[in-house]
Structure formats: C-alpha cells, structure tokens
Amino acid sequence: MARKVALVTGAAGGIGSAVVRLLAEQGTVVAAVDLDNGQLWETVEKLAAEGLPVRGHPADVTSSADVEAVIDAVEEQLGPIDYLVNAAGVLRLGEVTDLSDQEWYLTFAVNANGVFFVSRAVVSRMVARRRGSIVTVASNAAGTARSHMAAYAASKAAAIAFTKCMGLEVARYGVRCNVVTPGSTDTHMLHGMHADGSAVTASVAGNPDAYRTGIPLGKVASPEDVAHAIRFLLSDEAGHITLQGLTVDGGATLGV
C-alpha cells in the first residue's frame, strides 16, 4: 500500500484517526478530511511531526459542492485516489417519539448522504482508472435493533445497502466496495452515551432490560482493532472480496 493515495473522512474521530495513522505508517499518502477544523489540524500536525505522509483537507461531507471541491483538490495535490474510507459519522440518541426533525435530518445528512456524496465523487474517478477500493464504516446497530438508536441504526443500514449496491455496479471496472461494522469501540462517541463514565463496563455487561447482549470477548474494541479490519479490506490481500461486511464487535451480535 506504499505510495498509494487514500482519502479518509471523519479523520479527526477515534476510528478515522486510527485509520489515518495505520495507512500512513505503511507509506500510504493520506488525505485526512473532517469538518472539525481544530481537531483535524491537531491530528494532522501530530502525525506530520512524526514524518508520516498526512495532509489535512477540511470539508463538510453533507455538501456535495464541498465534497467535489475537496476531491478535486486532493487529486490535484496528491494524485489519483486509490483508497476511500467513509468514516465520518454522528450519533443522536433518543426514542422515536422524542427525536426532532433536525436530529433525524442531521444523522442522515452525515451518515448516509455523506457516504453517497463522497463515494460518488471518488468512485467515478476510480471507474475511469479501472481500479480502487472503498470501505464504509457502518455499525452493528444497522442489523440489530437498539432502543434509543433508531436514527443512527437506520442511517447506517442505508449506508450499508448503498455501499453494496455501488459495489455491484462498479465491480466490472475492478473497483471493490466493502463495509466494516464495528460494535462498541473506545471512542468519544461511545463515552458520550454514558455521562457517568460507565461506557466500557456497561457495553461489556450488556443490558437485559433493553434486550442488549454484552460482549463475549469481555472488552470493547480499540479504534486500532477496527482500523486493521479496514486496512485489510482496502488491501490487495482482500483482492477478491467485494460487497461484503466484516463485523468487529467482539461477538456482541452473536455472529448474526
């Protein structure tokens, strides 16, 4: 994967930043994209100070114009994009009866529309070059009902279906499209779900009253656990894998 070019959205987040680091450490030139300008530059400057080939590109994935502009800039400055990782995501919790229109729209704007806008812009270029690999980061909640997570789960299910349909359409051009579905992962998003600081213990133990199993492996994932799964699906080691989903949840969904 050395001397290739990757674009990673959500690059300032827990999973996104882990992917950026892992790819850069293998010699991939990484365009790190995020809306959080401050956190993005903090991430980029830290990695660049270590001599890693990372470039920051602030952008709003919910804007198709913003996306097209950043893709043009990345390809002009760094070269053709070989790998795309859709890792940008937001979580809004609440029962369906309490969700506001704004919370629903924002969740889909980032988690579904963002995947569409970025993938469309990148894959059109990959098709012309007849090569490329795309991984969308979804969630195990997309296939397992979770209370208070209807908007998030629905948006991630949409991202999965979109990515696989896109993969079917572009397979004949040698472009592969896969999905990684993490479970509870040690990120700010997970800790934001438990204001009392119990995120890890609560995730591992589960909650029978909410019909939620725990984690058989007895631990939450690290961002690096998820990043390694993404790297594998991007790489030539997965050269005959497309339209697939790889679940990284320590067994939380019991293999279903």
| Active-site residue list | 152
C-alpha closest to that of 229 among 197, 166, 169, 183: 183
Instruction: Label residue 63 exposed, middle or buried (CB < 10 Å: 0-12, 13-18, 19+).
Output: middle
Q: What is the dihedral of CA 185, 187, 188, 192, to 10 degrees?
A: 20
115 vs 99: CA distance, rounded Å: 22
Q: What is the dihedral of CA 66, 105, 119, 11, to 10 degrees?
A: 70
155 vs 44: CA distance, rounded Å: 28
